Structure 1
Amino acid sequence: MRSQQQADSELIQVYGKIVAIAVMLLILAVLGFRFVGSVDKVSAQGLKIEHARLLNVLAMVRSQWMTQGRPKQMMLDWSTTLSRGDGEQNIILMSNQGWPTLDKVTESSCNQLWWQLLGTKNNIAQVVTLQGPDGDICSFIASNGDRLSYQLSAGRVVFLTDH
């Protein structure tokens, strides 16, 4: 009789542990889904921050362009010690209106311009780069669909969000 009660007691303890593990897994699953849902929000915040940074950098570049006598190309003052990793200096082309521009608009040249102006790689920032259909726009798209577009000829920056 004693061994039957002991077996029943052990079985109840095992069931209790299984229920406790199930509850813990349920709590972890809920927290996991909330975390995954917040990743898109963090990505969108990152692109909003990059939008503000891009506006500030473009204003500084245009100011430098005017103080340097409106050259066709210039090296950015804040990045004189930086290189793209292949030994090439950070020289950007400038439009007649004083905005950073590109000879040929491609996804890789838009990525390079992003790096030159903001100092971050798109893959680190989890941003996809696209060129505009008319060849005058570089678009940077976050994983949640938010888009930051830079019009090369006019220096216009547009931030679009789905929210």
Structure 2
Amino acid sequence: MLSQHKADSELLNVYGKLIALIILLIVLFYLSFNYFGSIKQLGQPSIQVEHTRLLNVLGVARSQWLMRSKPDILLLDWYSDSQEHASSTGQVRMAAGGWPIPDETSVAGCRRLLIELLGPGYMKQIDTRFNPDTGVCRYLGESGESISYQTTSGRVIFLTQAR
């Protein structure tokens, strides 16, 4: 009877370890799933970052416009710390109020404006739309967030996707 009791005890001990291992695996699976899900979100370029960059670039463009006596076409001067892009220039049309406007009122004009302001590397992830009735360029990110740029007033509006 003693050996049966010892065998039952060892079997319960093995079952306890097996259950603890299963619980540990479930917890690790849950944590890794959340971790890799957040890495995927971090890996995708956020249009919210581009919104902040666009606001900063528009401020710099307006400053350059004011310093150069309010020209109709502004030559933008960008300087960088990297040797290969030490300086680059682009040009944009400026509204009478001092904000950049597309060279043509179309989707292509809105895309070229964003390329001149932010650079060509971001157009792969951003879908561009133009509303001719309101004069709004809308830039949509992969996550559903968007930036609306009102060409009539220079306002920039960041919209998030409703959840």
| Higher Rg | 2
TM-score scaled to structure 2, two decimals?
0.66
> Where does structure 2 lack aligned partners over 5 or more consecutive residues?
1-24, 80-85
**Which aligned pairs between 1:1-163 and structure 2 lie closer than 5 A?**
35=36, 39=40, 42-43=43-44, 46-78=46-78, 81-82=87-88, 90-124=90-124, 126-134=125-133, 136-163=135-162
> Where does structure 1 lack aligned partners over 5 or more consecutive residues?
1-22, 83-88
TM-score scaled to structure 1, two decimals?
0.66
Q: In structure 2, what residue type is equivalent to 1:134?
A: D
Query: Does the 8 Å contact 1:99/1:153 carry over to 2?
Result: no
Query: Does the 8 Å contact 1:141/1:147 carry over to 2?
Result: yes
Q: Which has the higher contact order (CA 8 A, sep 6+)?
A: 1
Query: Does the 8 Å contact 1:149/1:159 carry over to 2?
Result: yes
Q: Percent identity?
A: 33
Q: Over aligned residues, Cα RMSD in angstroms?
A: 3.1
User: 2-side partners of 1:36 and 1:132: how far apart?
Assistant: 35
What's the CA shift string for 1:82-121, capped at 9, x where partnerless?
Answer: 3xxxxxx621100000000023222222111111111133
Q: What is the CA distance between 1:123 and its match in structure 2?
A: 3.6
Cα 1:123–1:69 shift into 2, 3 Å: closer
Residue-pair matches, total: 132
What's the CA shift string for 1:102-150, capped at 9, x where partnerless?
Answer: 23222222111111111133444x1111112425111110112111111
SS of the residue 1:78 aligns to = strand
Point out the structure with the larger helix share.
Answer: 1
Query: Does the 8 Å contact 1:100/1:155 carry over to 2?
Result: yes
